[in-house]
Structure 1
């Protein structure tokens, strides 16, 4: 009798351990309440980003900075910062006037614990844009996005991220992610997800010209329009799958986007410009549509760079004709020569500037802009945010529905005086 009891107990323990592994390490779940409606605390309405305040939707003003997972002398994916480091940085970010943090991948558990503790003890919250990325070995590889361990890995990390922000995940060996037991629910302060952080132009070109992969997609929440490329189709599918996972498992939705850049923007340029700036791809969020099932929303996001100040002259004749009045009255005296304003005019969804930084190279990288040391870089970012008509600086006051973002939170190089 005792032997049977021991064997039965062992079987129960093994069963519970197996179920725990599937739930907390693999994200397996059963939807026991399929009738429960999906909700969203953040949404897009036209070109506005809005948040739910009680029963009222209000326009959200977002002022953001990037937060990295490394410190001087350490590799980025070593995730060296501690809970105390993140706590100190969050305090400084709040003091400088930002209200949003962007991270590039699933951080280690200490970050989410620090964010939870900050937001449950402060009057003003810090919101999170959770990045979903793949290793550089994949992004800068010699194949397309449908190669083994690319799209699947991005989706896997997306599913991990959803569980992480809901405090319902354990990661022991992360591939381009942090590790730990994630038990802090930061979902009330998570705005949404960003696919990728710096898409390699070669990967986009390989994907668009490949015979592999889908040329269209029709999902529950997102679909592609007829003009969509293979790369855009992959983005639509990933956006749909991440949204579906959170909708089915947690009955919630968040904003979502894929990160673009000036080198892969929707515009067509002359051959000379293409050759000089490697602008041989076009990725366009306008080629992706959303169904009525999407309660939250989506937006176009761009990682900004300093541009050729005469970029408008290099639009193809057909592109110039298509843009028409959108080119009228652009303020070309700012650092972006009116580029960010043009993006906002072009898109029918909100536009987010999710990253920008001044170069600290010892040689000028932009005409009439001398090299800056690190303290000058930080001061220039703050000043840019105060002066720009379409600001992209920390602490800047953004127009409704627009997102400010900088890369000034490069902890590895930024002097602490910048936070004053």
Structure 2
């Protein structure tokens, strides 16, 4: 090969590499290649969004237009992972951005810095959607644990940690940062400049009221902060000085990149600036963080207030009479709408956004709200309907934006009323606990392995699709039951039961007894004539809507052992605590603890709700009787059932852990189960007799085989748009973007 040819090839290679680098620079590194229309200030800063009095505005077609931000929050995890592992890949983000764009959302809020691929994907997506880009609200995580522990925001180490995080976030957004590896946080080289797609900065987390109160108390001598871009007013408290400094630092760092964007800090009802005379919990109304005590100084992009507002927490939404004076469009007393109105009135000169709101689609419930807006207990259609109602109320009350919580379901989440039952706690991400409502706020479902394979419709055909080892035949059927099959995934235990003749719920019920470990009820008045050589931890009754449920052996009942025996908040009799008592309890979750002064203004009663109902219907969208919470359906001689793991006593099915009967000490403990033994029987409603049983007949449960499975650490899952997606999509379409 001649030297001339070699030189030409080297030259072409150089030009190719140079062209590639130049292209990458213009796409990711060049801040001037913003296809969004911007305004240049006299100082040379670029503006796309700004605040003006109580309006949030966007610059389009040479003018400023009042703008309502339609947003959605996005977490940082996938099933089988925790947020600090940052498992989401570029392809995931690109796919999600497409669906979010289809939804009609205009902005994505993230709570902290994501991996470089997030910003790369955002830029790439928006280059292809230049006429209608997806904007970013960048959150900056404050040192939450240190603040709660040390209760002093002005400590040098806390101040430095937060400022370092702000610097990293600004660099990440503008593609100008190399963040070293940090445990539980994003790292890497950030070269994609997403600054032109930024909508706002959203710093901090929900503030612990005791921390705020203590900071204000011990830092009274701190000088009022007066920065270049933001300052605290004369009415401000020390914690608000600290916030003004952090907002000012964010603005200063951004200004070095030639841009200005609106800024805000996270706030919530617990530390809002209003007084709530009807709030029973002292903790929930002990201190205020007031956005009106901070003001911008020459920051032309402006400043706004941001609150997380849910319709069920704190309890003031149910108990505060000062919120019972507003009615909604249906003529109902609406405390959520009343609260929004009062909160907006407190901020006459700055825009206000609700940057978290929503309800989950879950079996579990954690708090009760008004108008049925509880924290859980909704199917996907109800979730979409309620979220749409809340969106309309936020818009109607003059807010500048509504950021729904949240985009994707996250299995790792914990809830106060189930977290003590999830043992070991570091396995939460590996299975899908249907009783933990916090895992189900998303519009994008993360379905467990068989949820889209086994259709709950009474048709056994889908069981034929299961692979070898994914199902097992059990031999626990009594007379009237021909065969029982079992399967499982990360969310449910499934049963397929073949009866000799079709179930007649008005005359009889189908009962499935469950044994997971030694102990339990060997006999019960609810199943007269049935005597077992080993006890049942739970049984499932399927019949009419009122009677279909899972019950739990009274001495095994997590709920009463925790809140009855340990805390003394509910009755738990000696008879109920006895082994083989024959008593089964309704499966319940606490939704409010018994509290009394000085923690509350008065006696706060214990509250709980039943969660063991077995809803008849189908989980197949479009079919009659559809509900995402459907548990069973019968068709002819076949009955299909799915039961959430925890209702059967499992604290972590990925390691076969079930709640132990051992009841010593302050905490509940788990033990390993050898598997599930199940017996199925038909019970006549009139006589109570079980088909095929003579009086006092003994059934040897120990001779019935167990359903078992291999432990797992890598869960199977699949994405699916929930039914709430299209319902919320229509709600978004009915809200004008430009005001």
TM-score (norm 2): 0.46
Q: Does 1:352 align with 2:350?
A: no
Is the 1:381–1:408 Cα contact (8 Å) retained in structure 2? Answer: no
Q: Corresponding residue for 2:83?
A: 76
Helix, strand or coil at the partner of 1:149? helix
Q: Corresponding residue for 1:21?
A: none
Q: Corresponding residue for 1:28?
A: none
Change (3 A) 1:379 1:52: same
Q: Corresponding residue for 1:366?
A: 368
> Following the alignment from structure 2 to structure 1, what is the Cα–Cα distance between the partners of residues 212 and 268?
12
Helix, strand or coil at the partner of 1:73? coil
Change (3 A) 1:277 1:203: closer
Following superposition, the deviation at residue 57 of structure 1 comes to: 1.0
Following superposition, the deviation at residue 95 of structure 1 comes to: 1.1
> Following the alignment from structure 1 to structure 2, what is the Cα–Cα distance between the partners of residues 374 and 173?
40
Q: Report the RMSD for the aligned CA atoms in angstroms.
A: 2.8
| Counterpart mapping for 1:18-417 below 5 A | 37-122=44-129, 123-174=131-182, 177-211=185-219, 214-247=222-255, 249-270=256-277, 273=279, 275-276=281-282, 278-291=284-297, 293-305=298-310, 306-307=312-313, 308-309=316-317, 312-313=320-321, 331=328, 333-334=333-334, 336-347=336-347, 348-359=349-360, 360=362, 362-363=364-365, 365-367=367-369, 369=372, 376=379, 378-388=380-390, 390-391=392-393, 402-412=400-410, 413=440, 414=442, 415=445, 416-417=720-721
Helix, strand or coil at the partner of 2:403? strand
Where in structure 1 are there 5+ consecutive unaligned residues?
Answer: 1-34, 316-326
Is the 2:144–2:205 Cα contact (8 Å) retained in structure 1? Answer: no
> Following the alignment from structure 1 to structure 2, what is the Cα–Cα distance between the partners of residues 171 and 111?
15
Is the 2:344–2:397 Cα contact (8 Å) retained in structure 1? Answer: no
Change (3 A) 1:389 1:83: closer
> Following the alignment from structure 2 to structure 1, what is the Cα–Cα distance between the partners of residues 392 and 335?
10
User: For this pair of structures, how many residues does the alignment match?
Assistant: 367
Is the 2:327–2:334 Cα contact (8 Å) retained in structure 1? Answer: no
Residues 237-276 of structure 1 deviation map (CA, whole Å, 9 limit, x = unaligned): 11111101211x1121111011111110101334x73635
> Following the alignment from structure 1 to structure 2, what is the Cα–Cα distance between the partners of residues 231 and 330?
36
Question: Which deviates the most, 293-302 or 89-98?
Answer: 89-98
Is the 1:256–1:297 Cα contact (8 Å) retained in structure 2? Answer: yes
Higher strand residue share? 2
> Following the alignment from structure 2 to structure 1, what is the Cα–Cα distance between the partners of residues 214 and 363?
31
Following superposition, the deviation at residue 114 of structure 1 comes to: 0.9
Larger radius of gyration: 2
Change (3 A) 1:36 1:266: closer
> Following the alignment from structure 1 to structure 2, what is the Cα–Cα distance between the partners of residues 386 and 367?
16
Is the 2:359–2:386 Cα contact (8 Å) retained in structure 1? Answer: no
Higher helix residue share? 1
Change (3 A) 1:244 1:201: same
> Following the alignment from structure 2 to structure 1, what is the Cα–Cα distance between the partners of residues 409 and 66?
31
Question: Which deviates the most, 293-302 or 162-171?
Answer: 162-171
Helix, strand or coil at the partner of 2:56? strand
Where in structure 2 are there 5+ consecutive unaligned residues?
Answer: 1-41, 411-439, 446-719, 727-739
Is the 2:326–2:335 Cα contact (8 Å) retained in structure 1? Answer: no
> Following the alignment from structure 1 to structure 2, what is the Cα–Cα distance between the partners of residues 284 and 372?
27
Is the 1:361–1:372 Cα contact (8 Å) retained in structure 2? Answer: no
Is the 2:151–2:212 Cα contact (8 Å) retained in structure 1? Answer: no
Is the 2:391–2:402 Cα contact (8 Å) retained in structure 1? Answer: no
